[in-house]
């Protein structure tokens, strides 16, 4: 499957409106790999980005055995979320991005229900196929919850864990109760609406000017993929990651870095210190004048925290 062939025609048209160089460059780097899993008889075409460090630095990584970085995006998002962070990390360290099952541009098979368990099994198969060794797992927002769940089940695969304004504590509402016909269809279409997505984007930033037309396009590209609506409804009806809590994350034993925007209007800031208290081997770093997406709003500081930690 060639690059960008994963985009439906409507998304390819929308992609032409991208203006930010990092957005255009990242879209051009997305690849597709058919990942064999136990979830379905046919492999699942999975979108990812692989960016390795320059040769001299890559050889140093090979010598020291430093694990690669794998970044996981948030709810109803895609690898495009890391368009500003990836170039800063890949200059010094092998870095991967993956679209989680049911999200981004990864194919949404009609045989799947897109539960956290299926997402985790697909992520494990993807990790085993593409990376196959201990990694530094980074999760943003819902991706943080997915990273926590993965780390709890497959601790040997995770050398270090990094959470960016992460979900995963037991204060999230169970929106699945609302996802019954026809409310599920209506809620998904409401979420797809550009005006709604623009307001969500504005809420995610401290600096509202960053909620640009380019940012809106990045957030919408995947919403025209086949079965996007069905996957959103199915995941939400599953309850998502509401089963995680301060009690469950106490079992995390790997070194953990928590990065949080001081002005997060999506999750607030209380959970930052809760994560630091709950995970024994962890530390918290703050990004000032920053909302829910430090990797987009303060990418240089976020990259510095990550690279210093590893």
Alpha-carbon distances of 162 from 35, 42, 70, rounded to whole Å: 25, 32, 10
Provide the 3-class DSSP secondary structure of residue 7: coil
Active site annotation includes 99: no
Residues 6+ apart with CB under 8 A from 96: 48, 49, 50, 51, 68, 69, 70, 71, 130, 131, 135
- Active-site hit among 264, 271, 282, 295: 264
Name the burial class of residue 19, with classes exposed (0-12), middle (13-18) and buried (19+) by CB atoms within 10 angstroms of its CB: exposed
- Active-site hit among 73, 122, 292, 295: 292
Q: What angle do CA 78, 197, 83 make, to 5 degrees?
A: 35
Active site annotation includes 78: no
CA distance 251 to 238: 23
On whether the CB atoms of residues 283 and 276 are closer than 8 A, the answer is yes
CA distance 213 to 208: 12
- Active-site hit among 11, 23, 77, 141: 141
Active site annotation includes 292: yes
Name the burial class of residue 254, with classes exposed (0-12), middle (13-18) and buried (19+) by CB atoms within 10 angstroms of its CB: middle
Q: Would you please indicate which residues are annotated as catalytic (active-site) residues?
A: 141, 264, 292
């Amino acid at each position: 499957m060639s690059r960008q062939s994963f985009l439906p025609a409507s998304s390819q048209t929308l992609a032409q409106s991208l203006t930010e160089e990092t957005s255009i460059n990242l879209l051009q780097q997305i690849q597709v790999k058919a990942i064999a899993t136990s979830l379905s008889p046919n492999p699942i075409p999975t979108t990812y980005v692989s960016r390795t460090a320059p040769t001299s630095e890559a050889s140093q990584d090979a010598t020291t055995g430093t694990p690669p970085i794998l970044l996981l995006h948030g709810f109803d998002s895609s690898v495009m979320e890391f368009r500003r962070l990836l170039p800063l990390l890949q200059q010094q360290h092998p870095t991967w991005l993956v679209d989680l099952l049911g999200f981004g541009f990864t194919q949404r098979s009609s045989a799947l229900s897109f539960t956290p368990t299926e997402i985790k099994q697909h992520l494990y198969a993807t990790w085993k196929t593409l990376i196959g060794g201990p990694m530094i797992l980074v999760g943003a927002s819902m991706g943080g919850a997915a990273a926590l769940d993965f780390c709890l089940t497959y601790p040997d695969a995770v050398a270090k864990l990094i959470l960016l304004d992460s979900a995963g504590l037991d204060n999230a509402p169970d929106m699945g109760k609302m996802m019954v016909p026809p409310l599920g269809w209506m809620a998904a279409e409401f979420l797809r609406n550009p005006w709604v997505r623009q307001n969500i984007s504005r809420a995610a930033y401290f600096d509202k000017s960053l909620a640009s037309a380019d940012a809106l396009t990045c957030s919408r590209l995947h919403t025209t993929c086949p079965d996007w609506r069905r996957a959103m409804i199915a995941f939400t009806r599953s309850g998502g990651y509401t089963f995680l809590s301060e009690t469950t994350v106490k079992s995390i034993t790997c070194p953990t870095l928590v990065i949080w925007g001081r002005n997060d209007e999506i999750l607030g800031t209380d959970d930052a210190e809760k994560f630091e208290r709950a995970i024994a081997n962890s530390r918290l770093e703050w990004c000032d004048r920053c909302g829910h997406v430090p990797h987009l709003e303060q990418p240089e500081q976020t990259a510095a925290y990550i690279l210093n930690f590893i």
